[in-house]
Structure 1
């Protein structure tokens, strides 16, 4: 058995052969860049207006209007002192423009422009190269592309990007008692739910499962199911069958398939019977069968590996400290990840902390960590991993 810290360190220390691919810009959200990016030109490429209004030559309160420039116009206008042109947001400012005055602070009579206040030199002009200059670093390798990143890359004219590939993930659920939702069940059976939670968690963080399989608690079926799943994935996630019961065949089946154990069992609650193994550049997590345990282990251990596999520089859930809303004592005998809700900057530990209870996790937005035997008073800080 290992500690939480040891387990996390083992996951983090894995050397992974990253793969890269070229993806269209519109399909690159959530991917990490595989190369450094520099700007191919100045951004903006030309001085342009920050708003609808009037481009002014000289600093006066009265100008003669001599034309108009719309966004996208390529015509060149050379203004003279005391002249002004109507201009629109994003339009290239004419030569000799001193400032742009927003239209709300102007009055036009015939061809004469009157200003409500004196302009300041350079106001409302976006200068060439004001955001980026040609050759300037934009993003470093490993930057995870978010919507603003895509906007910036698009503004640089890049229609495709070199990114690190995300891992192919397969999911196996085990258990004779499990029945697919929508099917009829008999006494002693339950509806299978863990695969939906795991698939949903994958999608929540920008990953997808390639294959989802349910197998019975039978050694040969388990061994064959694992062999088949490993033929088409980088990461295999198994739910159930990893404890020490008479019908738990996952650990032995992994050994039969050449998977090397990296750790088995973690001193924590929930999720003690957690397995992590490796076969060449493939990884296997065997999660406990209880729903809350399974999902907790995914958030804490599986997600960081998936992100590392994807070339992310920073991995894992964002973690912060918040004051606890009420007194709480850990009486579980192990360091614990607690279902919690962070509301208005304070943490509430929710009812229903059992490893089979998923409703409280569904209503919460965090996993609060409390050490073995730790006693907290109202207002004490508690570490929380935010899950939504």
Structure 2
């Protein structure tokens, strides 16, 4: 058995080989860049108007109107001193523009423009290279592409991006008692739910499962199912069958399939019977069968490795500290991840902390961590990982 810290260090210290691929811009959200990116040209490429109004030549309060420039126009207009042109947001300003005055502070009578106030040199003009200069670094390798990143890459004319590939994930659930939702069940059976929690958590953080399989509690079936799953994944997540019962065949089946155990059992609650192993460049997590335990282990242990294999510069959920709304004492005898709700900057430990109880986790938004035999008073700080 290992401690939480030891388990996390073992996962963090795994040597990995990152894979890269080229993806279309519109499919790159949530991926990490596999190369540094520099701007191929100045942004903006030309001086342009920051708003609808009038481009002015000289600084006066009255001008003669001599034309109009819309966004996208390539025509050149030469203004003389004391002249102005109607201009729109994003349009290239004439070469000798002194300033742009917003239309709300102007009036026009016949062909003469009048300003409500004196203009200031350079006002409302976006200067060439004001955001980026040609050759300037935009992003470094490992930058995670968010929506603004995609907008910026698009503005640079980059149609395809070189990114780190995300790991292929397969899911196996085990248990004779499990029935697929929507199917009839008999007394003693339950509807299978862990695969939906795991696949949902994967989607929540931008990952997908490649294959999902349900296996009965049978050694040969378990061994064969694991063998098949390992043929097409980088990470295999197994739910259930990892404890020490007569029908728990996962650990032995992993050994038979050449998976090297890196740790088994973590001194924590929930999720003590957690397994982590490796076969070549493939990784296996065998999670407890209880729903809350399984999902807790995913957030704490599986997610960091998924992100590491995706080239993320920092992996895992960030830990925050919040004051607790009420006194709480850890009576479980082990360091514990507690289902909690963070609201208005304070933490409430929810009822229903049992490993099989998923309702409280569904209503909460955090995992609060409390050490073995720790006792907290109202207002004391408690560590939390926000899960939604």
**TM bucket, shorter chain:** over 0.9
**Displacement after TM superposition at 1:318 (Å):** 2.5
In 1: Cα distance, 2:6 partner to 2:148 partner? 36
Match of 1:115 in 2: 115
> What is the alpha-carbon distance in structure 1 between the residues aligned to residue 276 and residue 327 of structure 2?
35
Q: Which residue of 2 aligns with 1:340?
A: 340
Structural RMSD (CA): 0.7
| Deviation at residue 211 of structure 1 after TM alignment | 0.3
| 1:210 match | 210
Aligned to 2:249: 249
Cα distance in 2, alignment partners of residues 34 and 366 from structure 1: 31
TM-score by length of 2: 0.99
TM superposition shift of 1:296: 0.4
- Secondary structure in 1 matching 2:54: strand
Residues 206-285 of structure 1: matches in 2 within 5 Å? 206-285=206-285
1:4 aligns with 2:4: yes
Distance in 2 of aligned mates of 1:56 and 1:69: 12
Equivalent runs, 1:192-211 vs 2, <5 Å:
192-211=192-211
Question: Paired residue for 2:179?
Answer: 179
- Describe the superposition over 1:125-172 as per-residue Cα deviations: whole angstroms up to 9, x where unpaired: 111111100000000001110000000000000000000111110000
Q: CA deviation at 1:375?
A: 1.2
Q: What do residues 228-276 of structure 1 show as CA deviations (whole Å, max 9, x unaligned)?
A: 0000100000000000111100000000000000110011111010000
Aligned residues: 388
Which structure 1 residue ranges, 5 or more long, are not aligned?
A: none
* SS in structure 2 of the partner of residue 11 of structure 1: helix
Query: Residues 153-172 of structure 1: matches in 2 within 5 Å?
Result: 153-172=153-172
**Correspondence for 2:77:** 77
Matches within 5 A, 1:368-379: 368-379=368-379
Counterpart CA distance in 2 for 1:193 and 1:177 is: 12
For structure 2, list consecutive stretches of 5 or more residues without a partner in the other structure: none
Q: Distance in 1 between matches of 2:123 and 2:368?
A: 49
Provide the rounded CA distance (Å) in 1 between the counterparts of 2:189 and 2:73.
70
Residue aligning to 2:92 = 92
Deviation at 1:383, TM superposition (A): 1.0
For residue 124 of structure 2, what is the aligned residue in structure 1?
Answer: 124
For 1:357 and 1:304, how far apart are their aligned partners in 2? 24
Measured against aligned partners, the alpha-carbon deviations of 1:294-327 in whole angstroms (never above 9, x if no partner) come to 0000000000100000111011112211111111
1:366 pairs with 2:366: yes
Give the ranges of 4+ consecutive aligned residues of structure 1 lying more than 4 Å apart after TM superposition: none
User: Structure 1 length as normaliser, TM-score?
Assistant: 0.99
After superposition, what is the alpha-carbon deviation per residue over 1:16-53, rounded to whole angstroms, capped at 9, x for unaligned? 11111000000000111010000000000001111111
